[in-house]
Structure 1
Amino acid sequence: MTSEQKAKITELRTAGFGYANIANTLGLTKNQVVSFCHRNGLAGEKSTQATKGKPDVGCCKNCGKPIVQVPGRKQIKFCSDECCQSWWNAHPEAVTRSADAVYSFTCACCGKPFTAYGNRSRKYCSHACYITGRFGGDGRE
Protein backbone atom coordinates (compact mmCIF):
# COMPACT_ATOMS: atom_id res chain seq x y z
CA MET A 1 0.00 0.00 0.00
CA THR A 2 1.46 3.34 -1.04
CA SER A 3 1.58 6.45 1.10
CA GLU A 4 -0.85 8.13 -1.34
CA GLN A 5 -3.36 5.32 -0.78
CA LYS A 6 -2.93 5.61 2.99
CA ALA A 7 -3.58 9.35 2.85
CA LYS A 8 -6.65 8.81 0.66
CA ILE A 9 -7.99 6.14 3.05
CA THR A 10 -7.60 8.56 5.97
CA GLU A 11 -9.30 11.35 4.02
CA LEU A 12 -12.24 9.21 2.86
CA ARG A 13 -12.73 7.49 6.22
CA THR A 14 -12.88 10.79 8.10
CA ALA A 15 -15.41 12.00 5.51
CA GLY A 16 -17.64 9.05 6.50
CA PHE A 17 -17.08 6.57 3.69
CA GLY A 18 -17.35 2.84 4.38
CA TYR A 19 -14.57 0.27 4.07
CA ALA A 20 -15.92 -1.40 0.92
CA ASN A 21 -16.50 1.92 -0.80
CA ILE A 22 -12.93 3.03 -0.06
CA ALA A 23 -11.53 -0.34 -1.17
CA ASN A 24 -13.39 -0.20 -4.50
CA THR A 25 -12.24 3.36 -5.11
CA LEU A 26 -8.57 2.67 -4.45
CA GLY A 27 -8.39 -0.81 -5.97
CA LEU A 28 -7.60 -2.48 -2.65
CA THR A 29 -9.27 -5.30 -0.80
CA LYS A 30 -11.74 -4.49 1.95
CA ASN A 31 -9.52 -6.34 4.46
CA GLN A 32 -6.55 -4.10 3.62
CA VAL A 33 -8.64 -1.00 4.29
CA VAL A 34 -10.12 -2.42 7.51
CA SER A 35 -6.66 -3.38 8.81
CA PHE A 36 -5.22 0.04 8.03
CA CYS A 37 -8.16 1.80 9.70
CA HIS A 38 -7.93 -0.36 12.84
CA ARG A 39 -4.16 0.23 13.14
CA ASN A 40 -4.57 3.98 12.73
CA GLY A 41 -7.62 4.63 14.90
CA LEU A 42 -10.01 5.19 12.00
CA ALA A 43 -12.29 2.30 12.88
CA GLY A 44 -15.78 2.83 14.16
CA GLU A 45 -19.39 2.04 13.57
CA LYS A 46 -21.26 4.13 11.05
CA SER A 47 -24.16 5.74 12.85
CA THR A 48 -27.52 4.93 11.29
CA GLN A 49 -28.87 8.13 12.81
CA ALA A 50 -26.24 10.22 11.03
CA THR A 51 -26.93 8.67 7.62
CA LYS A 52 -30.71 8.62 7.98
CA GLY A 53 -32.38 10.93 5.48
CA LYS A 54 -29.14 11.74 3.66
CA PRO A 55 -28.71 10.79 0.01
CA ASP A 56 -26.50 7.80 -0.80
CA VAL A 57 -22.99 9.07 -1.44
CA GLY A 58 -20.34 7.08 -3.25
CA CYS A 59 -16.99 8.11 -4.60
CA CYS A 60 -15.40 8.18 -8.05
CA LYS A 61 -13.36 5.06 -8.92
CA ASN A 62 -10.71 7.23 -10.56
CA CYS A 63 -10.21 10.36 -8.46
CA GLY A 64 -12.14 9.59 -5.26
CA LYS A 65 -14.43 12.66 -5.38
CA PRO A 66 -17.80 12.17 -3.69
CA ILE A 67 -20.70 11.24 -5.98
CA VAL A 68 -24.33 11.62 -4.93
CA GLN A 69 -26.34 8.62 -6.10
CA VAL A 70 -29.90 9.25 -7.26
CA PRO A 71 -32.36 6.75 -5.77
CA GLY A 72 -34.12 4.58 -8.34
CA ARG A 73 -31.39 5.09 -10.95
CA LYS A 74 -28.34 3.06 -11.92
CA GLN A 75 -25.41 3.74 -9.61
CA ILE A 76 -22.70 5.83 -11.22
CA LYS A 77 -19.04 4.93 -10.72
CA PHE A 78 -17.31 8.05 -12.05
CA CYS A 79 -17.74 11.77 -11.43
CA SER A 80 -17.14 12.74 -15.07
CA ASP A 81 -16.56 11.37 -18.56
CA GLU A 82 -12.87 12.29 -18.26
CA CYS A 83 -12.49 10.18 -15.10
CA CYS A 84 -14.32 7.29 -16.75
CA GLN A 85 -12.09 7.42 -19.83
CA SER A 86 -8.84 7.69 -17.87
CA TRP A 87 -9.80 4.80 -15.55
CA TRP A 88 -10.66 2.48 -18.43
CA ASN A 89 -7.46 3.47 -20.27
CA ALA A 90 -5.46 2.62 -17.14
CA HIS A 91 -7.28 -0.72 -16.59
CA PRO A 92 -7.56 -2.49 -19.97
CA GLU A 93 -7.60 -5.89 -18.22
CA ALA A 94 -11.00 -5.02 -16.73
CA VAL A 95 -12.66 -4.89 -20.15
CA THR A 96 -14.85 -7.93 -20.76
CA ARG A 97 -14.33 -9.11 -24.30
CA SER A 98 -15.92 -11.95 -26.20
CA ALA A 99 -13.51 -14.62 -27.44
CA ASP A 100 -15.63 -14.90 -30.60
CA ALA A 101 -14.67 -11.38 -31.70
CA VAL A 102 -10.88 -11.88 -31.81
CA TYR A 103 -9.67 -12.40 -35.38
CA SER A 104 -6.24 -13.50 -36.63
CA PHE A 105 -4.70 -12.03 -39.76
CA THR A 106 -1.44 -11.71 -41.69
CA CYS A 107 -0.43 -8.12 -42.51
CA ALA A 108 -0.73 -7.36 -46.26
CA CYS A 109 2.34 -5.12 -46.07
CA CYS A 110 4.93 -6.70 -43.76
CA GLY A 111 3.57 -10.26 -43.60
CA LYS A 112 3.55 -10.45 -39.79
CA PRO A 113 0.70 -12.27 -38.06
CA PHE A 114 -1.53 -10.11 -35.82
CA THR A 115 -4.87 -10.24 -34.04
CA ALA A 116 -7.66 -7.66 -33.97
CA TYR A 117 -10.70 -7.39 -31.74
CA GLY A 118 -14.09 -6.80 -33.33
CA ASN A 119 -12.91 -6.06 -36.88
CA ARG A 120 -13.18 -8.88 -39.40
CA SER A 121 -11.80 -6.97 -42.35
CA ARG A 122 -8.42 -5.68 -41.16
CA LYS A 123 -5.56 -5.86 -43.66
CA TYR A 124 -2.71 -4.12 -41.89
CA CYS A 125 -1.14 -4.59 -38.46
CA SER A 126 -0.43 -0.88 -37.92
CA HIS A 127 -0.96 2.59 -39.33
CA ALA A 128 2.60 2.61 -40.68
CA CYS A 129 1.92 -0.57 -42.68
CA TYR A 130 -1.33 0.91 -43.95
CA ILE A 131 0.49 4.02 -45.23
CA THR A 132 3.20 1.91 -46.87
CA GLY A 133 0.73 -0.52 -48.43
CA ARG A 134 -1.71 2.11 -49.60
CA PHE A 135 0.60 4.89 -50.76
CA GLY A 136 3.85 3.03 -51.43
CA GLY A 137 6.10 4.87 -49.02
CA ASP A 138 6.37 6.17 -45.50
CA GLY A 139 3.72 8.85 -46.14
CA ARG A 140 6.04 11.80 -45.50
CA GLU A 141 6.41 14.62 -47.93
Structure 2
Amino acid sequence: MAINEQTKSEIRALRLQGYGYRKIAGEIGISRDLVRNYCKTNALDGLGSSLINVPRCANCGKAIEVKPTGRRRKYCSDKCRHQWQEATPLMHEHSCTYCGKKFTSPAKVAKYCCHKCFERDRFWRKEDVQMVMEYIEKEEPVPNAPGWIKKLINGILDE
Protein backbone atom coordinates (compact mmCIF):
# COMPACT_ATOMS: atom_id res chain seq x y z
CA MET A 1 0.00 0.00 0.00
CA ALA A 2 1.41 3.39 -1.01
CA ILE A 3 1.24 6.40 1.28
CA ASN A 4 -0.04 9.63 -0.25
CA GLU A 5 1.63 13.02 0.27
CA GLN A 6 -0.89 14.23 2.84
CA THR A 7 -0.35 11.14 4.97
CA LYS A 8 3.41 11.55 4.66
CA SER A 9 3.23 15.11 5.90
CA GLU A 10 0.98 14.05 8.79
CA ILE A 11 3.42 11.29 9.76
CA ARG A 12 6.34 13.72 9.60
CA ALA A 13 4.53 16.32 11.71
CA LEU A 14 3.46 13.83 14.37
CA ARG A 15 6.88 12.20 14.44
CA LEU A 16 8.59 15.54 14.95
CA GLN A 17 6.23 16.19 17.86
CA GLY A 18 7.65 13.08 19.53
CA TYR A 19 4.90 10.56 18.76
CA GLY A 20 5.77 6.87 18.47
CA TYR A 21 4.96 4.59 15.53
CA ARG A 22 1.93 2.98 17.19
CA LYS A 23 0.41 6.29 18.26
CA ILE A 24 0.88 7.77 14.78
CA ALA A 25 -0.67 4.69 13.18
CA GLY A 26 -3.67 4.98 15.50
CA GLU A 27 -4.08 8.71 14.78
CA ILE A 28 -3.91 8.36 11.01
CA GLY A 29 -5.54 4.95 10.66
CA ILE A 30 -2.80 2.99 8.88
CA SER A 31 -0.63 0.09 10.01
CA ARG A 32 2.30 0.59 12.35
CA ASP A 33 4.62 -1.11 9.87
CA LEU A 34 3.81 1.43 7.15
CA VAL A 35 4.57 4.26 9.56
CA ARG A 36 7.81 2.61 10.71
CA ASN A 37 8.98 1.92 7.15
CA TYR A 38 8.26 5.48 6.08
CA CYS A 39 10.08 6.87 9.11
CA LYS A 40 13.12 4.66 8.57
CA THR A 41 13.46 5.64 4.90
CA ASN A 42 13.14 9.35 5.74
CA ALA A 43 15.53 9.53 8.71
CA LEU A 44 12.72 9.77 11.26
CA ASP A 45 13.55 6.53 13.06
CA GLY A 46 14.67 6.13 16.66
CA LEU A 47 12.90 7.29 19.78
CA GLY A 48 10.21 9.83 19.03
CA SER A 49 11.26 12.03 21.92
CA SER A 50 14.81 12.27 20.54
CA LEU A 51 13.52 13.84 17.30
CA ILE A 52 12.01 16.92 18.89
CA ASN A 53 15.15 19.09 19.12
CA VAL A 54 17.09 17.65 16.20
CA PRO A 55 17.89 20.27 13.53
CA ARG A 56 16.15 19.50 10.25
CA CYS A 57 16.86 20.42 6.64
CA ALA A 58 14.72 23.39 5.57
CA ASN A 59 14.05 21.72 2.22
CA CYS A 60 13.56 17.99 2.75
CA GLY A 61 13.22 17.71 6.53
CA LYS A 62 15.99 15.16 7.05
CA ALA A 63 17.96 15.32 10.26
CA ILE A 64 21.16 17.33 10.00
CA GLU A 65 24.31 16.12 11.69
CA VAL A 66 25.36 18.68 14.29
CA LYS A 67 29.07 19.46 14.27
CA PRO A 68 30.71 20.76 17.44
CA THR A 69 32.17 23.83 15.73
CA GLY A 70 31.00 26.25 13.09
CA ARG A 71 27.64 27.77 12.45
CA ARG A 72 24.37 25.88 12.44
CA ARG A 73 23.52 24.32 9.09
CA LYS A 74 20.10 24.87 7.52
CA TYR A 75 20.30 22.29 4.74
CA CYS A 76 21.51 18.71 4.59
CA SER A 77 23.32 19.23 1.27
CA ASP A 78 24.12 21.77 -1.43
CA LYS A 79 21.50 20.12 -3.62
CA CYS A 80 18.79 20.81 -1.02
CA ARG A 81 20.02 24.38 -0.56
CA HIS A 82 19.81 25.03 -4.31
CA GLN A 83 16.35 23.45 -4.54
CA TRP A 84 15.06 25.58 -1.68
CA GLN A 85 16.54 28.79 -3.10
CA GLU A 86 15.00 28.11 -6.51
CA ALA A 87 11.62 27.34 -4.96
CA THR A 88 11.59 30.41 -2.70
CA PRO A 89 13.53 33.26 -4.33
CA LEU A 90 14.10 36.23 -2.07
CA MET A 91 13.55 39.48 -3.97
CA HIS A 92 13.97 43.01 -2.64
CA GLU A 93 12.16 46.13 -3.83
CA HIS A 94 14.36 49.04 -4.94
CA SER A 95 14.03 52.39 -6.65
CA CYS A 96 16.56 53.38 -9.32
CA THR A 97 18.54 56.45 -8.24
CA TYR A 98 18.83 57.64 -11.83
CA CYS A 99 15.43 57.16 -13.46
CA GLY A 100 13.32 56.55 -10.35
CA LYS A 101 11.81 53.35 -11.72
CA LYS A 102 10.80 50.68 -9.18
CA PHE A 103 12.50 47.30 -9.67
CA THR A 104 13.14 44.05 -7.83
CA SER A 105 16.50 42.40 -7.32
CA PRO A 106 17.87 39.50 -5.29
CA ALA A 107 20.49 41.90 -3.89
CA LYS A 108 19.72 43.60 -0.59
CA VAL A 109 21.25 46.85 -1.80
CA ALA A 110 20.83 47.92 -5.43
CA LYS A 111 20.99 51.46 -6.76
CA TYR A 112 20.28 51.09 -10.46
CA CYS A 113 17.69 49.20 -12.48
CA CYS A 114 20.07 48.60 -15.39
CA HIS A 115 23.63 49.20 -16.51
CA LYS A 116 22.58 52.11 -18.72
CA CYS A 117 21.24 54.00 -15.69
CA PHE A 118 24.47 53.27 -13.83
CA GLU A 119 26.55 54.69 -16.68
CA ARG A 120 24.39 57.79 -17.07
CA ASP A 121 24.47 58.49 -13.34
CA ARG A 122 28.16 57.77 -12.92
CA PHE A 123 29.52 59.42 -16.06
CA TRP A 124 27.47 62.58 -16.53
CA ARG A 125 28.23 64.50 -19.78
CA LYS A 126 28.13 68.18 -20.73
CA GLU A 127 25.29 67.58 -23.19
CA ASP A 128 23.21 66.32 -20.30
CA VAL A 129 23.92 69.49 -18.31
CA GLN A 130 22.53 71.57 -21.17
CA MET A 131 19.38 69.46 -21.17
CA VAL A 132 19.00 70.02 -17.41
CA MET A 133 19.45 73.76 -17.86
CA GLU A 134 16.66 73.78 -20.47
CA TYR A 135 14.30 72.08 -18.03
CA ILE A 136 15.25 74.54 -15.28
CA GLU A 137 14.58 77.50 -17.58
CA LYS A 138 11.15 76.05 -18.42
CA GLU A 139 10.60 75.43 -14.68
CA GLU A 140 9.74 71.79 -15.35
CA PRO A 141 10.88 68.78 -13.34
CA VAL A 142 14.11 67.30 -14.64
CA PRO A 143 13.67 63.69 -15.78
CA ASN A 144 16.54 61.21 -15.68
CA ALA A 145 19.03 63.34 -13.81
CA PRO A 146 21.51 61.90 -11.34
CA GLY A 147 20.57 62.04 -7.71
CA TRP A 148 23.21 64.65 -6.87
CA ILE A 149 21.87 66.95 -9.62
CA LYS A 150 18.30 66.54 -8.35
CA LYS A 151 19.42 67.40 -4.82
CA LEU A 152 21.32 70.42 -6.11
CA ILE A 153 18.34 71.63 -8.15
CA ASN A 154 15.94 71.12 -5.25
CA GLY A 155 18.28 73.08 -3.00
CA ILE A 156 18.44 75.96 -5.47
CA LEU A 157 14.71 76.01 -6.19
CA ASP A 158 13.76 75.83 -2.50
CA GLU A 159 15.66 79.03 -1.67
Taking structure 1 as the reference length, the TM-score comes to: 0.40
Q: Which has the larger radius of gyration?
A: 2
Higher fraction of strand? 1
